[in-house]
Amino acid sequence: MDFTLLLDILGVIAFSISGVLTSLRKRMDAFGILIIAFVTSIGGGTIRDVLIGNQVMWMREMTYVYVIIVTAILAVIFRKKLSYLRKSLFLFDTLGIGLYTVVGVEKGISAGLPPIICVAIGTISACFGGVIRDILCNEIPEIFKKEIYATACILGGLSYFVMLKLNFPEGLIFLLSGLVVILVRLAAVIFKISLPTIYKKDENIEDYW
């Protein structure tokens, strides 16, 4: 198993748990839990592979399917243990976007895409599984709110190319750029940093209709 595939699998595990936790909160049945786990963990990667013209990863490598199923089952079985982790959904979602950003950037490079497009591919890979999850769960996706989410992925992708330019070792680039995403997201939540909003606090949105 190469390093990129390992990172991809770790991202699948993190996003699968995130999907299970979201579906449990919505009190879905077993089929719903499995579907949400699947779309959360492979949605962004599927869009990424279609955009760069690769065969869709989970259709080529059954390891992904097995990992999602096993992870979903274990997450359901140990859901009470997971509930003891404060903000566990946020934790696994953050780990997932960190890992998937790096994998997406790497696959963009392998496809010979320009750096800015690679950053976009990494961001799509990291964020759009969560977008599909939230839409199916009837929630506004995090990426469309004022929270630092996609911005963290963009910063992680940019840091990847900065370190690449500085001739950092490949393994260290993977690790540090993923950490940039995770730490930016954590710092934004801890210190309540958010993107500026165009709406005033007392503004009545219904005035626009």
pLDDT at 14: 86
Question: What residues contact 102, with CB distance under 8 A and at least 6 apart?
Answer: 7, 122, 156, 160, 174, 177, 178, 181
pLDDT at 190: 86
Please state the rounded mean pLDDT for residues 62-88: 83
Q: At what angle do helices 88-110 and 115-136 cross, to 10 degrees?
A: 140
pLDDT at 191: 87
Q: How far apart are CA 131 and CA 181, in angstroms?
A: 17
Q: Hunting for tokens 């992680």 — which residue is that?
A: 156
Q: Is residue 91's pLDDT more than 90?
A: no
Q: Hunting for tokens 């909160």 — which residue is that?
A: 25
pLDDT at 87: 59
Higher-scoring residue by pLDDT: 8, 165? 165
Domain segments of the chain as ranges: 3-77+86-195
155 and 102 Cβ atoms separated by less than 8 Å: no
Confidence band, pLDDT 50/70/90 cuts, at residue 79: confident
pTM given for the model: 0.85
Percent of the chain with pLDDT strictly greater than 70: 88
pLDDT at 201: 65
Residue pLDDT, tens place only, 11-54: 898 889 889 988 998 999 999 999 999 999 999 999 999 999 99
Question: What residues contact 183, with CB distance under 8 A and at least 6 apart?
Answer: none
169 C-beta neighbours (distance < 10 Å), count: 10
Percent of the chain with pLDDT strictly greater than 90: 59
Q: Is residue 208's pLDDT more than 60?
A: no
Average pLDDT, the chain: 88
Q: Is residue 162's pLDDT more than 90?
A: yes
Residue pLDDT, tens place only, 110-155: 999 999 999 999 999 999 999 999 999 999 887 887 678 899 999 9
Distance of CA 16 to the CA centre of its chain: 10
Q: How far apart are CA 115 and CA 117, in angstroms?
A: 5
